[in-house]
Chains A and B, each alone.
Chain A
Amino acid sequence: MGELYAIYLRHVVLMVLTLGWSRFWGRTRLRRYLWNHLSILGDRFEYRGRGRELLIGFLLAMVMLAGWAGLMWLAWVYLFHEKPFATFGMFDIFSLSVVMIGFPLAYVGHYAGLRYKLSRTRWRGIRCGLAGSAWRYGVVATFLTFANMCTVQLLTPVVTVNLARPRISNARVGTLPLAFVGSAGDVYGRYLGYYFLNIVAWLAAIAAAFAIGGSTADKFGLTSDDLLKLFTTPSLRTVLVAAAVAVGVYLLFSLLILPLRCWWQAYWFRYLVSHSRAGNVLFATAITTRQMWGFLVLNYLIVLLTLGLGWPWVMHRTLRLIAGELWLYGAPDGASVRQRTDGGSPFGEGLLDMFDVSGL
């Protein structure tokens, strides 16, 4: 992990020095390190992307955004400006339009970014790839997410299965395609259990919060005026009280809400992995709720409490988890997996960068 930290710190130092413009090269270096320290069947992955590809992708996305801003400006000048019904400003139109196109575009960016990363990934010298249309994925993902919001998240299994399918089934190692044979019906029962238990847990957490908060205030003889005063004259005591309350709320939610979420996520991850295959290679995992808690919650806390500097630690933990918990059965017939002739995306991840959702 020391090596990873050294690479990461170099990246951060260069980020500050170049006001962020070095990020394309920094990300590339980090990926090179991480990819090459992960292996399957004794063969390491390779990452052969280039910083300048990411830079060009970013610039193209900026040009797109600038074009969009120009269009909105024209719409403002010719359609709305100085019209009596227009009780909104140019910024309102632009922001609203960016939110409207940003939602589907973020999905398009996710898919296109995955395609770029896979096209720069090699295993046994063979390029990986992702077929399918990113725009189609963006439309489907937007529609499903909207439908899920309208049905108070009851469609989650349908959404997750239908979004996982194109990402897995369209992925390939050379000419070897991956396959996903899951269906929403399989996971609905477990999801509904999680869904309603979650509601019960929220109600219990809120009731517990009120009970604990009320009894604590009584114990110390605090009235609502005292509490108001406490927060209007910031002092060390206020900060300590606020910190104690934050820890209390976190503990409450960790006890009641987060394990439930981790339980569902661990189940979903096991399902996802065990219903995927690559030719005669089957995948499996026995990831537990506790491990998922470490992945979802503890990793989040590490990054938060270290102001982002714990990121390499989190990445190290994540890769160790993958290496330890992703099991393969069978071996690919190497001779039948051939190199594809197409080179994949020419530029990388511009849309992802624009919406700041790129992760690694």
Chain B
Amino acid sequence: MAPSAATPARYYDGETAQVLEVGVRPTAGELILFRPADSSIVARWPVNETAVLGDGSHEGAPPIVRRGGEARLVIEDPEQRRQLAALIPHLAALAEVPASAGRRIAALGASLAVLVAAFWGVIDYGTEYAAPWLPYSLQVKLGETVYEELVADKDECQGQRGLAAINDLANELARAAGYPHEVTVHVIDGGPVNAFTLPGGILVFYSDLFEQAKNSSQVAGVLAHEIGHVVHHHPTKGIVRAYGVDLLMKLVSGGYSDLLNTLTSGGNILLAMRNGRAFEREADATGVALLEKLGLRADGVSSFFEQMMEKEPKDAASAAGIWSSHPPTQERIEATKRPPTGRPAFSTANWKALREVCK
């Protein structure tokens, strides 16, 4: 077992910051560390008490220690380390040589690409199927929390008759689509001319929309469109996808970069835009189909969009700029155009009550 020459190493005693150039000579049961100049012994470490800290993949020169002590022995030359490890099986970790970096990078890079694609697929398509399975009570809680936040400094309209009229129609449309839960419509006093849907079947209308609408069919058209969002679980899907992209960006950047926020918001905008457009088309189609199914006038959405186009000669999407989540209005008008046939969605009295819901 005796080697022909001692192995040169640096020895740190663990008590002071002195460094000693030593020779290392392994014997049957010991590692003898000595000064090459005068062969005086620096330390004798029983072989079975030695250990290697770290490994050759991470440490440039993994230190050898005696268990329970803080002293260290460092052999810089990889070949000398390999020879010592060959003589002392206890120190086999010294001889570990990692696989070629290029091969590992290629394998890990390919794995990463597959994982990212799979993750993206799960986010993008998985939510399509998973969103309806999210406990309804959780969706409601989420929707109510967001709603409370949104209306904290706004006035909610309290006209009972108007609210009953729009809630009744909303639930009739939802039932027609086979939606098993109750939906709730809230009306906020003022503008913009808009309506939106929150998780848990919560719909929010701004009263300016009722004032701007030329007839009740337009409001019914917008309402049916929002019910389209509800029955397709769009708000929940949107939130899950946004969160998923956020998480993915964090993960692939290793959790290190301050740029995460920038990247994440960029990714989210792109995804929201894509989702937004797909969701709007789906909600348009479902809304019109629901109105037709109930025998109600279904020309409301297209005529409402036309009216908006007249008010704002440029495409309405321009108002929201390049990142608009809505498809170009002209395209939506064409897709939702229906003849002005069918019975009105609201009675004259209910329509009046709805227009006065905030008074």
Task: List chain A positions with a Cβ less than 8 A from chain B.
Answer: 2-3, 5-13, 15-17, 19-20, 23, 26-27, 29, 32-33, 36-37, 42-44, 46, 48, 87-92, 123-126, 173-174, 176, 228-229, 231-234, 238, 300, 303-304, 307-309, 311, 332, 334-339, 356-360
Task: List chain B positions with a Cβ less than 8 A from chain A.
Answer: 10, 12-19, 53-54, 57-61, 63, 70-72, 74, 98, 101-102, 104-105, 108-109, 111-112, 115-116, 119, 145, 148-149, 152-153, 247-260, 262-263, 314-315, 317-318, 321-322, 324, 328
Q: How far is the CB of A300 from chain B (nearest CB, A)?
A: 7
Query: Is there an interface contact between B256 and A334, defined as CB atoms closer than 8 Å?
Result: no
The interface residues of chain B lying within 8 Å CB-to-CB of A358 are 255-256
Given contacts A10-B108, A125-B63, 8 further A-B contacts (CB under 8 A): A2-B102, A6-B108, A16-B251, A32-B54, A125-B70, A176-B17, A303-B257, A339-B70
A358 to B257, CA, bound (A): 9
Query: Is there an interface contact between B152 and A232, defined as CB atoms closer than 8 Å?
Result: no
A123 to B247, CA, bound (A): 37
Cβ-neighbour of B12 out of A8, A124, A308 (below 8 A)? A124
Query: Is there an interface contact between B254 and A308, defined as CB atoms closer than 8 Å?
Result: yes
Residue in B104, B119, B152, B257 whose Cβ sees the most chain A Cβ within 10 Å: B257
Q: A2-B102, A17-B115, A335-B18 are in contact. Are A304 and B317 (CB under 8 A)?
A: no
Q: How far is the CB of A135 from chain B (nearest CB, A)?
A: 25
Query: Is there an interface contact between B255 and A359, defined as CB atoms closer than 8 Å?
Result: no
A32 to B245, CA, bound (A): 30
The interface residues of chain B lying within 8 Å CB-to-CB of A304 are 259, 262-263
A89 to B150, CA, bound (A): 9
21 contacts between A and B (CB under 8 A): A2-B102, A6-B98, A6-B101, A9-B105, A12-B108, A13-B108, A16-B115, A23-B255, A33-B59, A87-B153, A90-B145, A125-B63, A234-B322, A308-B253, A308-B254, A308-B256, A309-B253, A337-B16, A337-B17, A338-B16, A359-B256
Cβ-neighbour of A125 out of B14, B249, B251, B253 (below 8 A)? B14
A114 to B116, CA, bound (A): 33
Cβ-neighbour of B17 out of A6, A89, A173 (below 8 A)? A173
A335 to B105, CA, bound (A): 44
The interface residues of chain A lying within 8 Å CB-to-CB of B153 are 87-88
Query: Is there an interface contact between B14 and A308, defined as CB atoms closer than 8 Å?
Result: no
Q: A3-B101, A7-B57, A44-B74 are in contact. Are A232 and B322 (CB under 8 A)?
A: yes
Query: Is there an interface contact between A12 and B251, defined as CB atoms closer than 8 Å?
Result: yes
A357 to B15, CA, bound (A): 35
Query: Is there an interface contact between B254 and A334, defined as CB atoms closer than 8 Å?
Result: no
Nearest A residue to B61, CB-CB: A44
Query: Is there an interface contact between A7 and B247, defined as CB atoms closer than 8 Å?
Result: no
The interface residues of chain A lying within 8 Å CB-to-CB of B253 are 12, 303, 307-309, 311
Cβ-neighbour of A228 out of B149, B258, B318 (below 8 A)? B318
Residue in A48, A228, A232, A359 whose Cβ sees the most chain B Cβ within 10 Å: A232
Q: How far is the CB of B193 from chain A (nearest CB, A)?
A: 19
Q: A7-B58, A9-B112, A17-B115 are in contact. Are A308 and B252 (CB under 8 A)?
A: yes
Q: How far is the CB of A183 from chain B (nearest CB, A)?
A: 30
The interface residues of chain A lying within 8 Å CB-to-CB of B15 are 338-339
Query: Is there an interface contact between B19 and A91, defined as CB atoms closer than 8 Å?
Result: no
Cβ-neighbour of A33 out of B53, B58, B321, B324 (below 8 A)? B58
Query: Is there an interface contact between A307 and B252, defined as CB atoms closer than 8 Å?
Result: yes
Query: Is there an interface contact between B257 and A308, defined as CB atoms closer than 8 Å?
Result: yes
The interface residues of chain B lying within 8 Å CB-to-CB of A10 are 104, 108
A71 to B32, CA, bound (A): 61
Q: How far is the CB of A30 from chain B (nearest CB, A)?
A: 8
Query: Is there an interface contact between B314 and A228, defined as CB atoms closer than 8 Å?
Result: yes
The interface residues of chain A lying within 8 Å CB-to-CB of B257 are 303, 308, 311
Q: A6-B101, A36-B54 are in contact. Are A231 and B108 (CB under 8 A)?
A: no
Query: Is there an interface contact between B16 and A88, defined as CB atoms closer than 8 Å?
Result: no
A173 to B257, CA, bound (A): 29
A90 to B252, CA, bound (A): 33
The interface residues of chain A lying within 8 Å CB-to-CB of B315 are 232-233
Cβ-neighbour of B53 out of A19, A48, A91, A307 (below 8 A)? A48
A7 to B59, CA, bound (A): 12
Nearest A residue to B262, CB-CB: A304
The interface residues of chain B lying within 8 Å CB-to-CB of A336 are 16
Q: How far is the CB of B58 from chain A (nearest CB, A)?
A: 4
Nearest A residue to B259, CB-CB: A304
The interface residues of chain B lying within 8 Å CB-to-CB of A91 are 145, 149
A337 to B17, CA, bound (A): 5
The interface residues of chain B lying within 8 Å CB-to-CB of A123 are 17
Cβ-neighbour of A15 out of B57, B109, B255 (below 8 A)? B255
Query: Is there an interface contact between A126 and B148, defined as CB atoms closer than 8 Å?
Result: no
